[in-house]
Amino acid sequence: MVARAARVAIALGVALLACAGPAATGTRPASEDAVPTLEPARETPLGAPRAEDGFLMPNAEDVDGTPAYVHYAREDMPIRVNVQLPKLAARYASREQTDEGEIGAIRAWETAIQAALPWFRLEIVRDDRDADIQVEWRRRITGDAAGWGGVKWQVIDGRLRVRGELQYATRPCLAIECHLDLAELRLLVAHEFGHTLGLGHCLDCDSAMNYSWETVERVFVTDTDVQTIRALYEIPSGTRVDGSLLIPLRGEASAR
């Protein structure tokens, strides 16, 4: 059991870069004059810690490397989540039970977040490659991880479009103890789905995003996670830490 828990700990120890990589690139303008800025609904400057922000941190980078905040917008609701039926079931479970387990872990986020943001909604879809979030089963994940998740952004016709991706393996290595059971799978999917919503890691708080192995029994989303999501949504999506918009949103450079 300890060996399996340790394996899950490794699986959940995904680099934050997985959820911070930008999907849009462009050329930095020669002049920074008259850079438009936003006025987020905060009394505290961006980057200044507030207790009510939970473990809020930038989750993306602009084309010049400046940290930024991106997330799904209210007009994106419902967020369409394309869930792929796994080809290998969790340990002691059927493929259908495994599918229900991962969807349940995803729905746990919706239920928890709606208490703070009633308009937040998810829609589970099948075989939709244009869905906002792609959840894919893989036979193997690169490295020792059992899964990873993240967000990326792109500017299309002047509009910021955020996309999420989650990949997981039910048996990330050939050893018997590597075959995840349903409880471990739910924990894994809940953690990685938090990344697709724009959250990073929280190493010292009661959170689905805490990837210490002691969290092996923690499946559901906590108040700390909801608090952090709410703080993220207070910041207009596409805002850099200096308060300005992402460069491609300024009309000074276009995304590829």
Q: Which two tokens stand for residue 55?
A: 């473990």
The reported pLDDT for the residue numbered 36 is 37
Whole-number percent of the chain with pLDDT over 70: 75
State the burial class of residue 9 (Cβ atoms within 10 Å of its Cβ: 0-12, 13-18, 19+). middle
Concatenate the DSSP letters of all residues of 90-146 into one string: PBTS-HHHHHHHHHHHHHHHHHHHHTT-TT--EEEESS-TTSSEEEEE-S--STT-S
> Which of the four pLDDT bands, split at 50, 70 and 90, describes residue 212?
low
The reported pLDDT for the residue numbered 176 is 74
Q: What is the pLDDT of residues 127-160, one digit of tens each?
A: 999 999 999 999 888 777 789 999 999 999 889 9
Whether 8 contacts 146, CB under 8 Å? yes
What gap in Å lies between CA 6 and CA 61, rounded to an integer? 31
Q: What is the pLDDT of residues 58-117, one digit of tens each?
A: 999 999 999 999 999 999 999 999 999 999 999 999 999 999 999 999 999 999 999 999
- Cα–Cα distances in angstroms (integers) from residue 42 to residues 46, 71, 142, 235, 253, in the given order: 8, 17, 39, 8, 28
Longest dimension (CA), the chain: 61
Structural domain contains residue 30? no
Q: Give me the sheet containing 60-61, strands edge to edge.
A: 60-61, 67-69, 239-240
Structural domain contains residue 42? no
CATH number (domain holding residue 177): 3.40.390.10
Structural domain contains residue 195? yes
Residue 45 pLDDT > 70, yes or no? no
Domain that holds residue 154: 2-24+54-241
Structural domain contains residue 255? no
Direct distance between the N- and C-terminal alpha carbons of the chain, in angstroms, rounded to an integer: 47
Number of domains in the chain: 1
Structural domain contains residue 161? yes
Q: What's the average model confidence in pLDDT over 30-59? A: 57
> Which of the four pLDDT bands, split at 50, 70 and 90, describes residue 49?
low
Structural domain contains residue 32? no
- What is the pTM (predicted TM-score) of this model? 0.80
Number of H helices, E strands in the chain: 4, 8
> Which of the four pLDDT bands, split at 50, 70 and 90, describes residue 203?
confident
Structural domain contains residue 15? yes
Whether 253 contacts 26, CB under 8 Å? yes
Beta bridge partners of residue 152, listed in sequence order = 163
> Which of the four pLDDT bands, split at 50, 70 and 90, describes residue 20?
very low
Structural domain contains residue 140? yes
Q: What's the average model confidence in pLDDT over 189-194? A: 95
Residue 15 pLDDT > 90, yes or no? no
